[in-house]
């Protein structure tokens, strides 16, 4: 291979890898959230950087629809902020002077995992707490060919221990909860298993085998963030030689 061409290929692969994996370099809480036992109520969580904006839609004592909001910067995995209620005119007769708001209490949202959280609240003399999860209202299909790779830490593997980065191509077949991932060409590894969708996120687990190296083992994925053109998440795996792998994997299509 021409040396200059080889450097260009490696540089292009590295850029592609970093672009793919950086899609989900940190957990994003942006999504619809709800408690399955509280029909008709829920929260819309927006996130920009470490700032969280939460709109909580619920019902008032007269059973009419209402909403409250709170916002601010995350402290670790928690946001505590004043709970606010706003009033104003209807859109077709909007008058800026009639818009007003007030602080009615305080709320705390604590994210205990990629797709689980707890809402604690106190307002209008009421207080309570309940768990919430991401709300899935439309099935996302991950099938496609993705160009990307993985950034991994290998342990319990002798001389292979260390941090590595692998550019790769992933061909994903996703039917229902079943997932099959062909890594690279026909001599690459094949990952099979089941995944569960939680809002815009996925998690899953299964087994893998590699035709070229004779490796096999188990894998799990958590905090998999998806867009129309990409995926990225946290991978853990162990092969039949006892080697452990942890890191991030992703791709763009």
CATH number of domain containing 162: 2.40.128.120
Residue 26 lies in a domain: no
> Is the pLDDT assigned to residue 136 strictly greater than 60?
yes
pLDDT more than 90, % of the chain? 74
> Which of 134, 158, 177 corresponds to the end of one domain?
134
| N-term to C-term CA, the chain | 27
What backbone phi and psi angles, to 5 degrees, belong to 97?
-70, -15
Residue 162 lies in a domain: yes
> Which of 134, 167, 198 corresponds to the end of one domain?
134
- On the CB side of 229, CA atoms within 13 Å amount to 4
Name the strand (E) or helix (H) holding 112.
strand 100-113
Please tell me the total number of residues recorded for the chain in this structure.
253
Helix (H, G, I), strand (E, B) or coil at 80: strand
Q: 99 or 4, which is more confident?
A: 99
Number of domains in the chain: 2
> Is the pLDDT assigned to residue 7 strictly greater than 50?
no
What backbone phi and psi angles, to 5 degrees, belong to 247?
165, -160
Q: How far apart are CA 43 and CA 251, in angstroms?
A: 30
Per-residue pLDDT, 191: 97
Per-residue pLDDT, 6: 34
Per-residue pLDDT, 214: 87
Per-residue pLDDT, 21: 53
For 155-195, the pLDDT digits (tens) are: 999 999 999 998 999 999 999 999 999 998 877 899 999 99
Give the least confident one: 24-28, 31-35, 194-198, 234-238. 24-28
Per-residue pLDDT, 211: 87
Write down the mean pLDDT value for the chain: 89
Whether residues 128 and 150 fall in one domain: no
Whether residues 145 and 110 fall in one domain: no
Question: What is the Cα 104 distance to its own chain's centre?
Answer: 32
Residue 7 lies in a domain: no
Residue 23 lies in a domain: no
- On the CB side of 14, CA atoms within 13 Å amount to 7
Residue 180 lies in a domain: yes
Whether residues 41 and 107 fall in one domain: yes
> Is the pLDDT assigned to residue 58 strictly greater than 50?
yes
For 90-122, the pLDDT digits (tens) are: 888 888 888 899 999 999 999 999 999 999 999
Q: How far apart are CA 85 and CA 28, in angstroms?
A: 26
> Is the pLDDT assigned to residue 23 strictly greater than 90?
no
Give the least confident one: 16-25, 55-64, 126-135. 16-25
Q: What is the DSSP letter of 38?
A: S
Domain range for 216: 138-252
pLDDT band at 2 (very low <50, low <70, confident <90, very high): very low
- Find out whether 249 and 233 touch, Cβ atoms under 8 Å: yes
Whether residues 186 and 97 fall in one domain: no
Q: What angle do CA 152, 153, 159 make, to 5 degrees?
A: 120
Per-residue pLDDT, 17: 52
- The burial class, CB within 10 Å (0-12 / 13-18 / 19+), for 216 is middle
Per-residue pLDDT, 187: 78
Structure-token match 């994210």, residue found: 111
Residue 10 lies in a domain: no
Whether residues 153 and 120 fall in one domain: no
Residue 93 lies in a domain: yes
Whether residues 150 and 236 fall in one domain: yes
What residues have CB less than 8 Å from 163, skipping those under 6 apart?
Answer: 151, 152, 153, 154
> Which of 134, 158, 181 corresponds to the end of one domain?
134
Put simply, whether the predicted model's pTM sits higher than 0.75 gets the answer yes
For 203-239, the pLDDT digits (tens) are: 999 999 998 788 999 999 999 998 889 999 999 999 9
């Amino acid at each position: 291979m021409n040396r200059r061409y080889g450097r260009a290929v490696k540089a292009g692969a590295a850029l592609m890898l970093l672009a793919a994996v950086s899609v989900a370099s940190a957990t994003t809480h942006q999504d619809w959230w709800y408690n399955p036992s509280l029909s008709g109520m829920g929260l819309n969580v927006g996130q920009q950087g470490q700032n969280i904006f939460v709109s909580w839609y619920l019902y008032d004592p007269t059973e009419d629809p209402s909403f409250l909001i709170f916002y601010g910067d995350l402290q670790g995995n928690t946001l505590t902020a004043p709970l606010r209620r706003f009033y104003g005119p209807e859109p077709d007769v909007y008058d800026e002077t009639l818009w007003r708001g007030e602080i009615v209490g305080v709320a705390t949202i604590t994210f205990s995992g990629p797709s689980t959280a707890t809402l604690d609240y106190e307002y209008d003399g009421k207080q309570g707490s309940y768990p919430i999860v991401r709300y899935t209202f439309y099935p996302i299909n991950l099938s496609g060919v993705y160009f990307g790779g993985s950034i991994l830490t290998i342990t319990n593997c002798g001389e292979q221990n260390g941090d590595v980065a692998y550019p790769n191509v992933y061909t994903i077949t996703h039917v229902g909860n079943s997932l099959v991932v062909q890594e690279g060409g026909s001599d690459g590894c094949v990952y099979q298993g089941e995944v569960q969708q939680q809002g815009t996120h996925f998690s899953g687990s299964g087994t893998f085998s590699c035709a070229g190296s004779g490796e096999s083992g188990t894998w799990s994925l958590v905090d998999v963030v998806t867009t129309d053109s990409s995926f990225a998440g946290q991978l853990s795996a162990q092969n039949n030689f006892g080697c452990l792998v942890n890191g991030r994997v992703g791709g763009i299509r």
